[in-house]
Amino acid sequence: MFRMILFTQWKWSRLTLLPLVVTAFALPLLSVQRAGNPQTTPWEARQLLNSVESWGVAYPVLATTIALFMAMTAWSADHRGRHVYALSLPIPRWHYALQRFGAGAILLGAAVIALWLGALFAAGTASIPAGLHAYPTVIAVRFALALFLAYAVFFAITAGTTRTAGYVLAIIGGIIVVQVLLETAGVHVALVPFIGDRLILWPGPLEIFSGRWMLIDV
């Protein structure tokens, strides 16, 4: 049963997943393209770190993109059929949802492995200045955590009805509108930054996305 659900997920997502997996492989290689002479000066090493850091933002963005795409494809066929087929299958609903989630999660593994291999290759081929080190496995693990966290969030949202998605958007929109109204009224309450910090900074649930994503660091 799970094999067939995995098959459908693969069929629906393969065409878009493939370029994203290639991107995951290429990203670490692109981030170390400025690595050159191992006898580099401290100033040049600093420039390399800046370059690697500037590419760092691409990791959470890529993780979010892949997760969003995978979550949407997990439910799109059922949404089109108004979930009648899935609901008429003789398995409990939670069981079906869990298998759909699992199928998507397994395919996400391809992106993680690609990024890990890309990072290993980049770390192995780049000339890293003395005093700096490559962390290919660490960045791959972090990418995996971000990817699965984003996937879980998007999967839960897309599993709901259009109305549910509307509620989520309305809450986000409502917060922004309140912020604008407060600013207009001269009340300086940083509502959006406050909520953003609570989500993204430790111990916020999305903390994994923030901070520095460094393949090469001290």
Partner 1 sequence: MSHAVDIRDLHYRAGKNFEIRELGLRVPTGSLYGFLGPNGSGKTTTVRLMLGLLRPLGGTITVLGASVPRDIPRILARTGYVPEQPHLYTTLTVDEALRFHAVFYPTWDGTWANELVGHFQLDRARRLSQLSKGEMGKLEMLLALAQRPELLVLDEPTDGLDPVVRRDVLAALLDYVSQQNATVFISSHLVHELERICDWVGVMDRGRLVAELPMQSFKNGIKRLRVANPPALPGDTPFVVLAREAGNGASETWTVRGWQAPMSQYFEGVGASLREVIDLDLEEGFVELLRTFREPRG
**Which residues of the chain form contacts with partner 1 (CB under 8 A)?**
1, 3-4, 7-8, 11-12, 77, 80-82, 84-85, 87-92
Give the residue with the Cβ less far from partner 1, 8 or 51.
8
In angstroms, what is the minimal distance from the CB of 20 to partner 1?
Answer: 19
Q: Helices marked H in 32-135 — which ranges?
A: 42-56, 58-80, 84-88, 93-125
CB of 192 to partner 1, least distance (A): 36
- Our CB check for partner 1 shows the closer of 91 and 141 to be 91
- Which of residues 104 and 118 has its CB atom nearest to partner 1 in the complex? 104
Query: What are the structure tokens assigned to 183, written together?
Result: 């600013």
CB of 8 to partner 1, least distance (A): 6
Pick the closest to residue 29 from 218, 167, 216 (CA basis): 216
Q: Least distance to partner 1 from the beta carbon of 4, Å?
A: 5
209's enclosing H/E stretch is: none
Q: What are the respective helix, strand and coil percentages of the chain, to the nearest 5?
A: 75, 0, 20
Comparison of 93 and 212: residue with beta carbon closer to partner 1: 93
Residue 208: which of 83, 60, 64 has the closest Cα?
A: 60
Provide the b/e sequence for 55-85 (b: ≥16 CB within 10 Å).
bbebbbebbbbbbbbbbbbbbeebeeeebee
Q: Between residues 95 and 212, which has the closer beta carbon with respect to partner 1? A: 95
Cβ nearer to partner 1, comparing 46 with 82: 82
Per DSSP, 134 falls in state E
DSSP letter (8 states) at residue 133: E
Shortest Å, Cβ 107 to partner 1: 16
Helix and strand element counts for the chain (H, E):
8, 2
To partner 1, the closest distance from the beta carbon of 81 in angstroms equals 4
